Amino acid sequence: MRELQYRAPGELAWCEVAEPRISAPGQALVRPLAVARCDLDLPMVRDGLFPGPFPVGHEMVVEVAEVGSGVRSVQPGQRALVPFQPSCGACASCLRGRFAACATYRAPAGAAFGFGPAGGDHGGAVADLLLVPAADHLLLATPPELSSTVACTLADNVSDGYRAVGPQLLERPGADVLVVGGYGQSIGLYAVGFAVGMGASSVRYADPDPERRRIAATLGAEALAVPDGWPRRFDRAEITVDFSGDPLGLAATLRSTRDNGVCTSVALYFGGDVPLPLLEMYTRGCTLNVSRTDSRAHLATVLALVGQGVFDPAAVPITVAPWEQAATAWLQPAVKLVLQRP
Ligand SMILES: [Zn+2]
Ligand SMILES: [Zn+2]
């Protein structure tokens, strides 16, 4: 079969590899129908963040091709969403609902499809077939009214946007929200969309990038330019999101978090330790959440909210590229790139 591999910084290639095979009763083989590019995928391939070569892609909607003898909940031919983090559903962490910390699948960068050895060598989504462990636990039925083009975006970045504001707004109904972008393309915008849809009293979006500010405004946010670098702080909000990827942006976001407010950082900081304004955070009682999202934990909620029309992920522009052009399309600029199989 063919899979798209990261070969070297800036270089992708289609490669012929052996088909994966079912080797345990709980597994399934799936055929990706559409694959979205995660905000991390572009720097990962452009800059070579993890050692290659490895098959890329981890935001996907699939058709089930074959199931092991123990699989009950899905059948061949069915369309399904796959959380981007493999988990077993049966270990102590999974039983507590902490699927991203699954003890069965551990990896240096956290278990994930499409990350190569850093993610535990689980195969990539831009491929003819992918082996999914614990299929009954992992595969989620995809409602027919949700197109594959949109559905594939849900597994990672849309879920990441939800977890940055959704549980916080359920706990603090009607709170105001400040999202600080700049690191990647889409997660901050998805956070804006959920914040508006879930009834935040006001939503502001700060980003040096004018195109993302324009999109945020169409989603219902007040867009804030950042003309002279990150300010010391913005006007404070009860719920804040850091997606700046810049230590100064993170510090500004923390200082912009209201007394007893909560800040969630969804950006990655690769460059070593990052200073925090801890005395201010202590004095004002600011909580900082730092983690990867937990795809399996949030995906069903996200599917339900999208189904109820709380937020339409298609409101963040999607650039569709033909599957065959993946090796070049994967590196092109786009807020959300989706590879679509014919
Ligand atoms: Zn991702
Ligand atoms: Zn587990």
Task: Quick: pLDDT tens for 20-77.
Answer: 999 999 999 999 999 999 999 999 999 999 988 999 999 999 999 999 999 999 999 9
336 CA to centre of ligand 1 in angstroms: 12
Task: Quick: pLDDT tens for 112-165.
Answer: 999 999 999 999 999 999 999 999 999 999 999 999 999 999 999 999 999 999
Task: Confirm if 194 and 186 have CB atoms less than 8 A apart.
Answer: no
Task: Give the position of tokens 């720097």.
Answer: 43
Give the number of the ligand closest to the Cα of residue 296.
2
63 CA to centre of ligand 2 in angstroms: 24
**What tokens appear for 234 in the block?**
């913005």
98 CA to centre of ligand 2 in angstroms: 8
CA dist., res. 229 & res. 247, Å (int): 12
Task: Please tell me whether residue 46 adopts helix, strand or coil conformation.
Answer: helix
Task: Confirm if 56 and 124 have CB atoms less than 8 A apart.
Answer: yes
103 CA to centre of ligand 2 in angstroms: 5
102 CA to centre of ligand 2 in angstroms: 4
Query: What is the chain's mean pLDDT, rounded?
Result: 97
- Give 3-state DSSP helix, strand, coil % of the chain, rounded to 5: 30, 25, 45
> How long is the chain?
342
Task: Quick: pLDDT tens for 207-251.
Answer: 999 999 999 999 999 999 999 999 999 999 999 999 999 999 999
| Helix or strand (DSSP H, E) at 137 | helix 135-138
52 CA to centre of ligand 2 in angstroms: 26
CB atoms within 5 A of ion ligand 1 belong to 38, 40, 156
pTM: 0.97
Task: Confirm if 326 and 5 have CB atoms less than 8 A apart.
Answer: no
Give the number of the ligand closest to the Cα of residue 84.
1
